[in-house]
Amino acid sequence: MTEWVRTFLIGEPGRDQLLRAVEESHRSWMAAHALVAGGRVQREEGVEWAYVPGERPEVSIPFLRFSRPEEQLNPILQHCRALPMLAQVGCWSLREHKRSDDLGPLLAARGFEWGWQPHWMSRDLRDAGLDQPVPANVRVELVRDKASHHHALASARPRHLWHFTALLDGRSVGNSVLWATTGPLGVAGIFDVGVYPDARRQGVAKAVTRAALQHARELGCQHALLNSTEEGEPLYRSLGFSSLVYGQTWWLHRDRIVSEPPTEMQVRFAEAVGLGNVSALRALSTQGDASLLREPLACGLTPPSSRSAPSIRSASSGSWPRGCRPTSSRRGTSAGRTMCARCLPAHPNWQADARVVEGLRRCTRRYGATTSSWRAGCWLPTPIWTCRTASSTARHSAGRGIWSGKTSPG
């Protein structure tokens, strides 16, 4: 019997190659989990999605590239709403994709909410630094529990998954998973790194992650990828990882899945607001459905106030209502632009919420915007907004006729 030979991405890959490897690794990871759980992977109008059954059934749509959103996204959502007890639908994207800035408004118009930003990081496994000593009271082992979910994937042939557990003083306190893809874009994907809170800051996370990286190197893999939260970045940088690209997730939760889907008119209106499409808003104004201005959008965002904008026509030059609560969202865009804030349903005490204000300040400091930038950004009638400076934001918004010039109270 011929032994299966693994091949990997080798040499000095360019950025585009690594981004394609990110997609291949994450897409195959999602598909494998769906299939081993008894779910399925399906392609609908050129878009792949994976259904994972279980206690909290979910659908994952990795790395969206909608060229025809109505033809591609709407049929998938119809399938999702027919699945029993579906908990959520998650969509993933890389910021590098063309039209990635358009995805948010298209999804929000159909009920999705902005989610977290995966930070994709990479490491060359040929570089030094992997062979560091493990703390004396820490031991890392391969998991051989046949009842585990990962065991089914680890038992498949050819093998792609290795599950590691970390023991602190003999107690299992952490784990990591190596998912190795093969071929011209084959890389070591590091997933599910976690440590119990009472065992943190004792070298456990480093040890269990390093074990996965060492095993990947032994397999012949030359490059490793992972996606990190903000809290995990210092750990991965200390292990030799560097930033590759930020992504974006969006989530459609169960309450929106089981509720009445937005009408075609509501979707068109929300898309026009989200994309800042003034001509589309003007076209909608001739249809005279003022109820669009009184009801929250499908994603929960508040449309222009019916008190200040009695008809759709005024939405093309109206303002966001006072009382909308701003919240930070560490989004970021290319060319150093910054997403300052997005508006959520009204909250009477938002001015007193110090966490919201501090979150916005952290967001703007991280991406180089000014305090006045996020003050302006909070009052733009769009779910998301990017800016270089406060003045350019004001000029750009006023020039497109979608900002009234109001300032944030306080």
Dihedral of CA 92/94/98/102: which sign?
positive
- The answer to whether residue 12 is domain-embedded is no
Q: Say how many domains are in the chain.
A: 2
Whether pLDDT at 214 is above 70: yes
How much is the average pLDDT of 166-174?
Answer: 96
- The answer to whether residue 220 is domain-embedded is yes
Of 243, 267, 291, the residue at which a domain comes to its end is 243
Whether the model pTM is above 0.75? no
**β-sheet bridge partners, residue 175:** 165, 194
pLDDT tens-digit readout, 90-115: 999 887 655 666 788 889 889 998 88
- The answer to whether residue 26 is domain-embedded is no
How much is the mean pLDDT over the chain? 73
Give the residue numbers spanning the domain of 399.
320-410
CA 327/CA 245 separation, integer angstroms: 23
CA 195/CA 164 separation, integer angstroms: 12
Of 243, 267, 283, the residue at which a domain comes to its end is 243
pLDDT tens-digit readout, 322-377: 333 333 333 333 222 222 233 333 333 333 334 434 444 444 444 444 333 333 33
Q: What is the CATH number of the domain that holds 202?
A: 3.40.630.30
CA 62/CA 90 separation, integer angstroms: 8
- The answer to whether residue 336 is domain-embedded is yes
| pLDDT score for 351 | 37
| pLDDT score for 270 | 83
Q: Could you tell me whether strands 342-344 and 47-52 are parallel, antiparallel, or unpaired per DSSP bridges? A: unpaired
- The answer to whether residue 169 is domain-embedded is yes
- The answer to whether residue 176 is domain-embedded is yes
| pLDDT score for 207 | 97
Q: Which of 157-161, 183-187, 319-323, 361-365 has the lowest mean pLDDT?
A: 319-323
CB atoms within 10 A of CB 136: 8
As given in the structure block, the two tokens for residue 197 are 């809170």
